[in-house]
């Protein structure tokens, strides 16, 4: 009887090396999937640009086209506009002006948002006092303030920085405020039992615990900062990518409008990549699932 059972078990039990082909096959499938995704990331934009180029033109001379190049331009015309701007030196100067306003405004708004968020988040009483004021200020349409900023700071860098800083401030403030309030009270009580000062509690518990919230707020505010800078340039400025877009639209130069948009996409991707590197560097001590916490 025991011999029969042992033989039956031996038939059902897999050999030790039996799982190796399965693991290796799974690894190969994953590697193949990664390569496929990487190839498609390259081929898909190329296919879209090629289709855009082929299906767009002048209906008067090219009856077979689907789209009028007067309204959507073509990739070749957009590239020609970029080359012309680069040769004239306008492209680099405009990118520098837009990035400068974005970074300055982002830095001012982020620092103020973090500081105010930590202060109000750490003190329930101050939070309750200033909450109606913060909500009222946040309800003001940002675009309505652009003429006021131009009146205060002129058409130069100051008005753009002010608008960017205002938008970034509220995004970073709310994420920091929620992150500070989300700290486990148990950790704070332990430090209080050890007679730790308020500064020590902030430095050792609240700020590290809210770091993922703060970084998430910074990441979310990056595209909004760029949009704010470009909006200020479109409304009233004499330099920057927004100014190029506004000037191109005023001259019915569709390729210039799309060229400005393409430059903004590249700049946004680069800035967002820098924020991602900052996140990885600052949150190396946190587990992956906590570092990627989302703002509720």
**Can you tell me whether residue 68 is helix, strand or coil?**
strand
As a whole number of angstroms, the distance between CA 109 and CA 133 comes to 17
Please name each of the domains of the chain with its CATH number. 18-70 (no CATH), 74-291 (1.10.3720.10)
**pLDDT confidence of residue 21:** 63
- 15 φ/ψ sector (left φ>0, alpha ψ -120 to 50, else beta): beta
The total of other beta-carbon atoms located within 10 Å of residue 146's CB is: 20
- H-helix segments, the chain: 2-12, 19-55, 69-72, 75-88, 90-122, 124-138, 146-153, 157-181, 185-193, 198-201, 207-209, 211-235, 241-250, 254-282, 288-291
Does the pTM surpass 0.85? The reply is: no
As a whole number of angstroms, the distance between CA 195 and CA 35 comes to 56
As a whole number of angstroms, the distance between CA 211 and CA 176 comes to 8
Residue pLDDT tens, the chain, 296 long: 444 444 454 444 445 544 556 877 778 888 888 888 888 888 888 888 787 777 777 666 766 667 766 778 778 888 888 888 888 888 888 888 888 998 899 999 999 998 888 888 777 787 778 878 888 888 888 778 888 888 888 777 888 888 899 999 998 888 888 877 776 666 665 556 566 556 566 655 666 677 778 888 888 888 888 888 888 888 877 788 888 888 888 888 888 888 888 898 888 888 878 877 877 776 665 555 444 444 33
């Amino acid at each position: 009887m025991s011999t029969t059972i042992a033989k039956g078990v031996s038939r059902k039990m897999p050999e030790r090396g039996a799982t190796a082909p399965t693991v290796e096959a799974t690894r190969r499938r994953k590697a193949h999937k990664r390569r496929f995704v990487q190839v498609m990331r390259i081929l898909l934009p190329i296919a879209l640009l090629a289709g855009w180029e082929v299906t767009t033109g002048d209906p008067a001379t090219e009856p077979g086209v689907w789209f009028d190049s007067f309204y959507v331009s073509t990739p070749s015309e957009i590239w020609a506009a970029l080359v012309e701007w680069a040769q004239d030196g306008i492209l680099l100067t405009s990118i520098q002006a837009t990035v400068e306003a974005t970074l300055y405004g982002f830095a001012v708004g982020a620092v103020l948002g973090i500081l105010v968020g930590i202060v109000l988040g750490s003190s329930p009483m101050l939070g309750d006092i200033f909450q109606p004021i913060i909500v009222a200020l946040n309800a003001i349409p940002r675009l309505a303030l652009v003429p006021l900023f131009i009146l205060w700071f002129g058409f130069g860098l100051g008005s753009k920085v002010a608008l960017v800083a205002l938008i970034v401030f509220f995004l970073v403030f709310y994420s920091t405020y929620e992150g500070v309030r989300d700290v486990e009270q148990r950790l704070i009580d332990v430090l209080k039992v050890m007679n730790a000062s308020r500064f020590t509690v902030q430095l050792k518990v609240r700020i590290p615990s809210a770091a993922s919230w703060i970084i998430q707020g910074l990441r979310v505010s990056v595209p909004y900062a760029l949009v704010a800078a470009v909006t200020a340039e479109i409304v009233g400025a004499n330099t920057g990518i927004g100014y190029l877009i506004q000037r191109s639209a005023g001259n019915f130069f569709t390729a210039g409008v799309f060229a400005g948009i393409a430059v903004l996409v590249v700049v946004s991707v680069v800035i967002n990549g820098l924020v991602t590197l900052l996140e990885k560097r600052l949150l190396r001590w946190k587990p992956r699932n906590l570092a990627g916490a989302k703002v509720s």
